[in-house]
Structure 1
Amino acid sequence: MTIEYAPTVLATADGQPHAGTPVLLNRPIRPGTDSAVLSVFGDDRWELTPALFEEHVAATSLNFAPIPAALRPTAKNYVWQLLNCPDPPALRRFSSTRLAVRTVVSGFPSLASFLVWLDVRGITTLPSVGPADLDRYLSDLLDSGLSRDALGDRITAVRRLWAWRERLPAGDRLPATPPWRGEDSDALLGRKRRRGENRTPRIPPSTVDRLLLWSLRFVEDFADDIIAVRDEYATLSARSFTARHRHGGHHDPRTPEQFHADLRTLLRNMTHDGRELPGKPGPDGAPVLDRQHLARLLNCPTHWLGRRANAAALDTSGLPIADAAYLSAPVTARLDGSLWRQHLIAFGEAEQLVRHLSTACFVVIAYLSGARPGEALALRRGCVRHDATAGLWLMHGRKWKGATDEYGGKKPEGEERTDPWVVVRQVADAVSVLERLHERDLLFPTTLFDTRIADALARGRLGKARTTQVLATHIDRFISWVDTYCANTGRDERIPPDPSGRKIYPVRFRRTLAWHIVRRPRGLVAGAIQYDHVRLGVTLGYSGTYASGFPDEHAFETWLLTLEQLTDAEHRLREGEHVSGPAAPTYTQRVHQVSRQFAGRVLTSTRQARDLLDNPALQIHKGKGMTCVFDPAKAKCRLGSGENIRRTPDLTDCQPGCQNIARTDRDIAVLRDQVAELEGLVDDPLSPGPRRERERHELARLTQIVDDHDRTRPEAP
């Protein structure tokens, strides 16, 4: 990607900007940006969108008009330095790299609040701000009722403004004394924030299972029917715009006689094909002719249909009026053996279904690949390829996290991933559907239709990706459609809402996938998909490194699950659960050790979670009817190995007689069920002799294990 910069305009002699200096003087801008639209220092609104390369980011600007006039030049000078200075001054807990444009934007409201506070109190220059003023500002903040995060942002804005004082003219500097004696927000607010904690809420399993189920149905079952009506809808909707909004009337070269002949031809064809006239609900609920849609079919203004000859042709056609304006493509997809809808797709629902199909594709791609929302929204046509040699589907794209420029700051244009995502076939299918759904380069463009109305609604972002906020709204609408469809068809498969009331934001898919992999590898709808994908695709093939960030999420969830399981195990031991088997003493020792060693432990990074998972005290793994108290020196099973992957037992290859085996009362309950099942099979006279002999041998082995467990149970006091 070729990087462009704003045209160079000399600053003043002291290096400060003047009215004509470009706002983005030292920032790369999107290729093809018209230099005439770039903001300059003298403007009160600075357009920053040219410096944003992520396709899903909305138009962004800074408005200095609300800042008091006396302090506005100071604010502009300071923000200009934030945007253009490549080497920020050092300050504890502040990044030493240049701030990203969106970070500058997100911190702007806190800066503005401080400057407004000063102006209200008659302070119109920064050099006149004393320690007492800052103490009063802090006191007002603490009394404001703002959240802790909001308070931290306000404090940080003042500390950063002070840190930059040497880069500003003398009249724009805070005094040399550090604000609040140099203390940061953690010290001032009295409670330390857990840094690095992932606070993104997971999507509840019941919700995400059904959401994925219906998304897969759209991609795998309904897609052909929806794509079939897409072009017809696009053509007709463009006609309706022309008929209603073209200045000077509808310029149609047809004479009234020619148009009348076209109308009669349409009516004859509809009669021959057994079709009905387009309709809509009338005042009493009965269908009436939808003259607007009929005008679309004939590409004419609606009033042409009211001419006497044309109205007579309609009245005498004998065609019934449908209850909606249906498109012509047939319905072919089936759901549980029956057509998924009893009627053709109507004009009024076609755009909605096209958007739902695109949304369903995003759910499948984002959830089952583990890609970040921005990475998924930046995917382009041809991004998925199949490696026939390895038997893997590979998804190529750009990344922004971890992409840094020569100064160590975020590289705004991002970079192509060195290693692609390893994905499952369902993700490849979703990409293929999107490539058939439209002809744009981006898979998730702002709009799916080339109309002037769509262009206006996109607010100049036509051809770029949808934003995450818009996508969250589309997911809500998709869920509402599914719930309505289930209600109308009597299906008990609606998508349950999140009990917390939270919206399904795209960022939640990645965290939920990590949880679902660790907690429910054999879950409901996506059980096999998620299990195979993550264990084989992500853990081993997702770049093979931790650069993607996803293995960190996976390690964090594994750590949480491990602690929960071991805490439950200790509670059961204290309640008298019996443990038998060769590793029983080690099991008991490790479970009690976990409580002493890790109680109250706070993780500040997912890297710590990965490191802690290697701790021998945590090497307890639940199997079927047994618990592995893992010691690689004693293991008889095959062990995982390789770079960046810790050695773990293969619970599918558990060998009898292994000294790592312990059995809890819960494990014995599983074995008792197996014993009961085997007893029935051994007594079956129709079972083949060799099979019956194998089952009798297994029954004897399991019965001995159960008896030994009961025999070694300590007597109650």
Structure 2
Amino acid sequence: MTSPAAQYDPYVLPLPTPQTPVVLPQWISAGNTHSNSRYCDAVWPLAPLIDNPSTYLVKIHWRQCPALLLGEMKLITWTMINGRLRPTHLKARGAGARARTSAHDLRDTHGEWIRLARWLHERRITRLVDCTDHVWRTYIVERCSDVSRGHAEKICSMLTDLWAFDQLSAEPVGATRPPWDSEGVDDFLPPAGGSDRGENSTEPLDPQVLGPLLVWAIRFVDIFADDILAAWSERCQLFAVAAVNQASAESHAALEEFLLPRVGSGAPLPSIHFKGRSALARTYIAALTGASTIQVNRFATKHQLHALVPERPGACPLNVPILGQIDGKPWRDHIDVEESAE
């Protein structure tokens, strides 16, 4: 007979109850006074994990999760918030892998999982155990069709975590292992651009050129850092909102109000650069209107916006104040959602 001590696994978490705290006490610092919530709540603040007073407080919202997948998604998300990935799992994933991540990373990962859940729901798949190898392959092709190689690799890692954290529950729901975790991720990513030789063929800069560049680099950090960090935070928030938006009649009306006047007046349309050409900024538009990215795409196809955007590319300004100045004037009118990630 196996003894209880032999059966104990420090990485496996017991099942939560409806009244279990979202963030368990061992992960909350002594000086953190942010309110916690319960497993049964519709909103899970992650503020108990955030001690820096200047850091934006984030929450996990469950209203956009399909009802039939809600129970499974809640359990794995709670396990991710309170669990630690096994060292054996981390060892196989390189030096950058972490047993636990920040509250903002947790929020972003949850958003990626909800995006998957909604995609599965649209195809009448109501259990993660039914997300077969074929389903994974179909989904990742669609999901990564318009993102960079680096972003696609991050998406794959987040989706692998869905399976990895499910293994740490006392009663796993049966999330399946994505094929890229066993086969290697390269074949599931967009093609790499540029040379693969890893050699720097650029001639070194003259010190007389490099000196002024260094001075301006330091000034850039000193003067513009707050604006850039605020823009990055706003961009992350927009992308997180867009990832969980669900199509509705209200969001369709918001799309019409936001886009059709621009189409009719000949005004520029919100755009990003993709594969060397201008493309409609679907995620940005989704975040501003409350629509899902799929709804934005369908709307754009219906009104032939994809053909208009290369002719009328427009900015995607972030709603952040410009505080940095040069010679007493703001250094720019706005920061664009695309350049905030550069």
Distance 2:123 2:51 in 1: 41
Whole-angstrom distance in 2 between the partners of 1:48 and 1:76: 14
Given the superposition, is the C-alpha separation of residues 366 and 27 from structure 1 closer, same or farther in structure 2, using an over 3 Å criterion?
same
Partner of 1:16: 15
**Equivalent in the alignment of 2:328:** 482
Q: Is the Cα–Cα contact under 8 Å of residues 43 and 60 in structure 2 kept in the other structure?
A: yes
How far the C-alpha of 1:180 sits from its partner, in A, is: 4.0
Do the aligned partners of residues 68 and 482 (structure 1) sit closer, same or farther apart at CA in structure 2, a change above 3 Å counting?
A: same
Question: Is residue 157 of structure 2 the alignment partner of residue 148 of structure 1?
Answer: no
Shift in Å at residue 178 of structure 1? 4.7
Q: Is the 8 A contact 1:49 1:61 kept in 2?
A: yes
Identical-pair percentage: 20
Q: Secondary structure at the match of 1:46?
A: strand
Aligned partner of 1:97 among 96, 99, 110:
99
Residue 53 in structure 1 maps to residue 51 in structure 2: yes
What whole-Å deviation, never above 9, does each CA across 1:523-568 have from its counterpart, x for those lacking one? Answer: xxxxxxxxxxxxxxxxxxxxxxxxxxxxxxxxxxxxxxxxxxxxxx
Q: What amino acid sits opposite 1:154 in the alignment?
A: I
Secondary structure in structure 2 of the residue aligned to 1:71: helix
When Rg is computed on C-alpha atoms for both structures, the one with the higher figure is: 1
- Asked if structure 1 preserves the Cα contact closer than 8 Å seen for 2:156 and 2:185, the reply is yes
Distance 2:68 2:152 in 1: 25
Q: 1:131 to 1:33 in 2, by over 3 A?
A: same
Runs of 5+ consecutive residues of structure 1 not aligned to the other structure: 1-12, 195-204, 216-361, 375-468, 484-494, 509-717
Whether the 8 Å contact between 1:45 and 1:61 is mirrored in structure 2 is yes
Contact 2:32 2:51 in 1 (8 A): no
Number of matched pairs? 220
Higher relative contact order (CA 8 A, sep 6+): 2
Q: Which residue identity does 2:100 align to in structure 1?
A: R
- What amino acid is aligned across from residue 132 of structure 1 in structure 2? H
Tell me, in whole angstroms, the C-alpha distance in 1 between the residues paired with 2:341 and 2:97.
24
Q: How does 1:370-519 map to 2 (within 5 A)?
A: 473-476=321-324, 478-479=325-326, 482-483=328-329
| Cα deviation, residue 19, structure 1 | 0.9
In the alignment, is the contact (CA less than 8 A) between 1:127 and 1:171 conserved in 2?
no
CA 123–41 in structure 1, closer or farther in 2 if over 3 Å, else same? same
Kindly tell me: are residues 192 and 159 of structure 1, through their superposed partners in 2, closer, same or farther at Cα, counting changes over 3 Å?
A: farther
Shift of the 128–58 alpha-carbon distance from structure 1 to 2, 3 Å rule, reads same
Matched, 1:62 2:93: no
Describe the SS at the equivalent of 2:44: strand
CA distance in 2, matches of 1:172, 1:92: 23
Q: Call closer, same or farther: CA 1:121–1:506 in 2, change over 3 Å.
A: closer
Task: State the alpha-carbon separation in 2 of the partners of residues 133 and 366 from structure 1.
Answer: 43
In 2, Cα distance between the equivalents of 1:506 and 1:174? Answer: 34
Equivalent residue number for residue 314 of structure 2: none
AA paired with 1:22?
Answer: P
Residue matched to 2:116:
114
Q: 1:237-282 CA deviation, whole Å, 9 max, x = no partner?
A: xxxxxxxxxxxxxxxxxxxxxxxxxxxxxxxxxxxxxxxxxxxxxx
Residues 291-306 of structure 1 aligned to structure 2 (within 5 Å): none
CA contact (8 A) 2:13 2:79 kept: no
Which amino acid in structure 2 is aligned with residue 77 of structure 1? L
AA partner of residue 135 (structure 2): D
Q: CA deviation at 1:211?
A: 10
**Are the counterparts in 2 of residues 19 and 40 from structure 1 also a CA contact under 8 Å?**
yes
CA distance in structure 2 between the partners assigned to 1:170 and 1:32 by the alignment: 31
Secondary structure, aligned partner of 2:53: coil
1:589-628 superposed matches below 5 A: none
Shift of 1:182: 1.5
Cα displacement (A) at 1:497 = 5.4
Q: Which residue of 2 aligns with 1:629?
A: none
Alignment-derived partner of residue 71 in structure 2: 73
Q: Deviations over 1:576-634 (max 9, x none)?
A: xxxxxxxxxxxxxxxxxxxxxxxxxxxxxxxxxxxxxxxxxxxxxxxxxxxxxxxxxxx
Cα root mean square deviation, aligned: 4.4
Partners of 1:153 and 1:14 in 2: CA distance: 26
Cα drift, residue 366 of structure 1 = 7.2
Q: Give 1:29 deviation, angstroms.
A: 3.7
Determine if contact 2:27/2:49 at 8 Å carries over to the other structure.
yes
For 1:184 and 1:118, how far apart are their aligned partners in 2?
23
Q: Which amino acid in 1 is paired with 2:154?
A: D
Q: CA deviation at 1:188?
A: 1.6
Retained in 1: the 8 A contact 2:141–2:188?
no
Residue 363 in structure 1 maps to residue 222 in structure 2:
yes
Amino acid at match of 1:127: V
User: Structure 2: 5+ residue runs without aligned partners?
Assistant: 1-11, 197-211, 231-317
* C-alpha distance in 2 between matches for 1:507 and 1:123: 34
- The answer to whether the 8 A contact 2:21-2:38 is kept is yes
Check conservation: 1:131, 1:179, Cα contact below 8 A: yes
1:114 CA displacement: 0.9
| 1:303-357 Cα distance to aligned partner (Å, 9 max, x none) | xxxxxxxxxxxxxxxxxxxxxxxxxxxxxxxxxxxxxxxxxxxxxxxxxxxxxxx
Verify: 1:40 aligned to 2:42, yes or no: no
Q: Which residue identity does 2:84 align to in structure 1? A: P
Judge conservation of contact 2:37–2:45 (CA < 8 Å) in 1: yes
Question: Are 2:85 and 2:164, in contact at CA under 8 Å, matched by a contact in 1?
Answer: no
For residues 150 and 507 of structure 1, the distance between their equivalents in structure 2, rounded to whole angstroms, comes to: 11
Change (3 A) 1:160 1:32: closer
Calculate the TM-score normalised by the size of structure 1: 0.27
Contact residue 18 and residue 41 of structure 1 kept, 8 A: yes
Aligned in 2, Cα 1:108/1:181: closer, same or farther, shift over 3 Å? closer
The corresponding residue for 2:277 is none
What is the one-letter code of the residue matched to 2:117?
A: L
TM-score w.r.t. length of structure 2: 0.52
